[in-house]
Structure 1
Amino acid sequence: MPDDLWARIEPLLPVPPRNPRHPGRKRLDNRKVLQGILFVLPTGIQWEYLPQELGFGSGMTCWRRLAEWITAGVWQRLHDGG
């Protein structure tokens, strides 16, 4: 993904707060997850078949993040021009 495109998208992504009492695993980098989403959507493969070797995280991670971003209105703001 080109840096200029990422610079336009990154500010639109929500940053969920971490619970210090239950920090869990650190979230996978948003840029990598977005690349996974952009790999799956045009190819039409099932989320579960996203190759781990690509480094985009699991298909389930990408699917959940996509749902999170849709709920947060990220895609709509992107289409509206930010």
Structure 2
Amino acid sequence: MVSDELWERVEPLLPVRPASRTGPKPLPDRQVVQPILVVLVTGIGWEDLPQELGFGSGMTCWRRLRNWQAAGVVEWLHEVLLAELNAAGQIDWSRACGDTSHLRVERGHGHGAEPR
């Protein structure tokens, strides 16, 4: 499951959820991190998360991840961990691949021929 070391790094980055006065008590954040990691690493569907492992529903995990992404937590955690791994010499950058598919390109500022 989520190690104490990982949790100590992740927990301070998570937004505080307001206490709900109605409905069932939400799963603790730490209990939701593990199934999120399982989905992200294995690629299984949210609905295929094994309930017998105490993961809660896939929809609950998906919503929590969506909220954390919207709050910038996932991007920040990724940047922090990459910086620490790089500083420790734990990243082989010769095997790295950059994905710029989400970057906006302004017309007329790139290299190469202009469209006619």
Aligned to 1:64: 63
Residues of 2 paired with 1:77 and 1:35: CA distance? Answer: 18
TM-score by length of 1: 0.87
Give CA-to-partner distance per residue, 1:20-61, whole Å, 9 cap, x none: 4xx322110111101000011111111111110111111111
User: Is 1:40 paired with 2:35?
Assistant: no
User: Is 1:13 paired with 2:19?
Assistant: no
What is the percentage of aligned positions where both structures have the same residue? 61
Runs of 4+ in structure 1 off by over 6 angstroms are none
Residues of 1 paired with 2:42 and 2:75: CA distance? Answer: 22
Letter in 2 for 1:11: P
Unaligned runs of 5+ in 2: 82-116
Rg larger in structure: 2
Unaligned runs of 5+ in 1: none
Residues of 1 paired with 2:43 and 2:80: CA distance? Answer: 26
Higher helix proportion: 1
CA RMSD of aligned residues (A): 1.5
User: Is 1:52 paired with 2:51?
Assistant: yes
Count residues with an aligned counterpart: 80
Cα distance change, pair 80–54 in 1 and its aligned pair in 2 (3 A): same
